[in-house]
Every structure is written in C-alpha cells, then in structure tokens.
Amino acid sequence: MEVKKDEKICIMIVPHTDKVKRILIPSWLPKASVVLLSTFFIGSFIFLGVTKNSKVNLEQQYKEKIALIDQLEKENIDKDSQLSTLRSQADELYSKSDEINSKLDEIDRLQKRLEKMADMKSPSRGGSISRDINLKELEPIEGMDVLNEVLEDKKLELEVFIQDLESRFAYLECVPNLMPVSGRITSRFGNRRDPIRRSIRFHQGIDIANSRGTNIKAAASGKVIFSGYQGGYGKTIIIDHGYGYKTVYGHNSSLLVDVGTRVEKGQSIAKMGSTGRSTGSHLHFEIHKNGSPVDPFSILN
Ligand SMILES: [Zn+2]
C-alpha cells in the first residue's frame, strides 16, 4: 500500500497470476470508517443496554401486574365466600324467625296462665315492639338487628314480669286465705245470739270446732305481735301479715310461737283448746283489714 500526497490512498492488490490491481480511495476514508465504526459500536452498545434495561423493567411491571391480579382474584373469592356465608346466615335467620315467633307466642301464653294463677290485675306483659315485622323484607344485618331488639325487649319484659310475679307471690303469702284448721263451723261472722249471755252480739270472727290439741296453722306468713292470755279470748296469738292484714287465734290450749317470731303460711302456731270465754274446744278466728274485722270467708280459700 502506497500513500499519495494527502489526497488519495492507493491500494494495490497483487494476485499470483493476474495483473496487479490498484484501487484509489480518498485519504479521509479510513479515518471516517474508524469514526463510523466506533460510533456504530458505541451506539449498538448503548442501544443494547437500554433495551436490556427496558426488558427488565417490563418484566418487573408484568410480574407486579400479575401479582396484583392474583391478589384481586383472591380478594374477590374472599368477598364471594363472605357473601355466601351471609346469605346462608340470612336463610337460617328467616327460618329461625318463624320458630322464634312461635316460641315468643308460647311464652306469652305461659305468662297469661301465670297471671291467671297469680290473679294478677295489672301485669307488665305486652312488649312495645311489634312482632309482625316481616324479616324477609329486610337486609340480613337489619333483620338480625330487629330480631335482637325483639328478643332484648322480651327479655326485659320477662325480667319485669318475674319481678311482678315475685312481689305478687310475696303479697299472696301475706294474704290470710289459708283455713287455719279443719273442723265444723259452729259460728259465723256477724250478729249472733251470744251462747253464754243469750243476747245479740256482734261476732267479729268465725268459730271452728275440733278436738282439743288439734294443730292451728298461720293463715298467712307474717310476724307474731301477740302471744299470751287475753281476757275472754284465752290463750291467743295475733299475727301481723303486712299489707294491712292481721289475724287473731283465740281459746287455744297452748301457744307454740313467741312474740317477734316470723311465721310461714301453714306453720303450726298453737294447739286447739277452750281457754277464755268458751263453751268447748274450738278456734275463734278473726281477720282484720286496715284495723277493722272482716268476714274471714270473704278472704279464705
Ligand atoms: Zn268466736
């Protein structure tokens, strides 16, 4: 290869057999080629780098998207299962609501029977909430709230009812309606001919005759306020029952309880006798209401 003066470069090709070939190229061409090739390689290198980076980024984004889709699908499945649980709960609620309503009716009937048994005049029964609500028309959550409210209301009503019953029973325990002794009624309440003086006298109790020593029972629970001898009444017990009631038991042969003793309805308090102004073994029994004697048969069962 021979270099000519800055202008051209002469390339000579010398084959073995043929003539020598001369190719003339401009002198700037090799330099330009080097620059071009360098540029090309550097460009390619940068391009490949960028492409590689982009590819990595895209893969990363793709993976993230896939993960997001997976998560959303999972959440969707969770929601679906929650929804189906809620639906089955609602179905159960609907089927239960009829059952619960019939149970509530049953409780109502029982309450009515108890009121009748306890002879209650102003029961607190009758809840404020209407039970005609159709739960099927409500959203499950709302339906459950309503049902809870109904049951809570019934619970409160029953608590009050039980309190009423308890106070009613406590009151009934204090009403002297238990016959204090069995026997023959020999004298009733009211005006009668006095068996001793043979004149009309007001008899403020009833006389029940039986054999001497027969147990005399408290007509109701209460507190003994007198136990001793009292004139014509002989050996006498007086019990204060509260609620304005007092009972008097006269002519006993012996007394079994002292003043201050609390007695239960039906508890033996004395033995029948004929002490005081009496013609034979019998109990003279009085009931006082608010300080006045009343006919025992208006109260006794
Ligand atoms: Zn009498």
Share of the chain above pLDDT 70, in %: 91
Give the residue from 171, 274, 275 showing the smallest Cα distance to 221.
171
Instruction: Please report the DSSP string for 15-41 in residue order.
Output: -SSSPPEEEEEETTHHHHHHHHHHHHH
Q: How confident is the model at residue 122 (pLDDT cuts 50, 70, 90)?
A: low
pLDDT digits (tens, 9 = 90+) for 223-245: 999 999 999 999 999 999 999 99
Ligand 1 mean position, distance from CA 195 (Å): 10
Please give the angle made by the CA atoms of 92, 96 and 101, to the nearest 5 degrees.
155
- What is the rounded distance in angstroms from the CA atom of residue 285 to the CA atom of residue 294? 11
Q: What is the pLDDT of residue 131?
A: 61
**Between 209 and 123, where is the model more confident?**
209
pLDDT number for residue 115: 84
What pLDDT, on a 0 to 100 scale, did the predictor assign at position 2?
A: 47
- CA distances to 33, 51, 52, 68, 218 from 46, rounded to whole Å, are 20, 8, 10, 33, 116
What pLDDT is stored for residue 238 in this prediction? Answer: 98
- H or E segment to which residue 286 belongs: strand 282-289
Examine the pLDDT at 1 and tell me if it is beyond 70: no
175 C-alpha to ligand 1 centroid (Å): 21
Q: How far is the CA of 293 from the centre of ligand 1 (A)?
A: 13
**Distance in Å, CA 173 to ligand 1 centroid:** 25
Cβ proximity of 207 and 260 under 8 Å:
no
Kindly indicate the confidence band of residue 130, based on its pLDDT and cuts at 50, 70 and 90.
low
- Centre of ligand 1 from the C-alpha of residue 274, in Å: 11
Interval between CA 64 and ligand 1 midpoint (Å): 106
Q: Would you say 218 and 266 are in contact if contact means Cβ atoms under 8 Å apart?
A: yes
Torsions phi, psi of 175, nearest 5? Answer: -85, 120
Cα four-point dihedral sign 274, 277, 278, 284: negative
Q: Give 203 Cα–ligand 1 centroid separation in angstroms.
A: 6
Q: 62, 282, 49, 83: which is closest to 184 by C-alpha?
A: 282
Q: Ligand 1: distance of its center to the CA of 208 in Å? A: 8
Cα-to-centroid distance, 94 and ligand 1 (Å): 67
Other C-beta atoms within 10 Å of 20: how many?
Answer: 8
Distance in Å, CA 286 to ligand 1 centroid: 8
pLDDT given at position 260: 98
Q: Cα of 296 to ligand 1 centre, how many Å?
A: 12
pLDDT above 80 for 90 = no
Distance, CA 243 to ligand 1 centroid (Å)? 24
For Cα atoms 178, 181, 183, give the angle at the middle one, nearest 5 degrees. 125
pLDDT score recorded for residue 40: 81
Confidence class for position 259, pLDDT limits 50, 70, 90:
very high
CA of 260 to the centre of ligand 1 (A): 25
- Find out whether 239 and 222 touch, Cβ atoms under 8 Å: yes
Dump pLDDT digits (tens) for 141-175: 777 788 788 888 888 888 888 898 899 889 999 99
**In angstroms, rounded to a whole number, what is the distance separating the alpha carbons of residues 55 and 247?**
108
Ligand 1 centroid vs 207 CA: distance in angstroms?
5
- Cα–ligand 1 centroid distance for 199 (angstroms): 15
User: 172-198, pLDDT tens digit by residue?
Assistant: 999 999 999 999 999 999 988 776 667
**Residue 54 scores a pLDDT above 70:** yes
Which H or E run includes 160?
Answer: helix 140-174
Lowest mean pLDDT among 36-40, 57-61, 252-256, 287-291: 36-40
Instruction: Give the other-Cβ count within 10 Å of 281's Cβ.
Output: 20
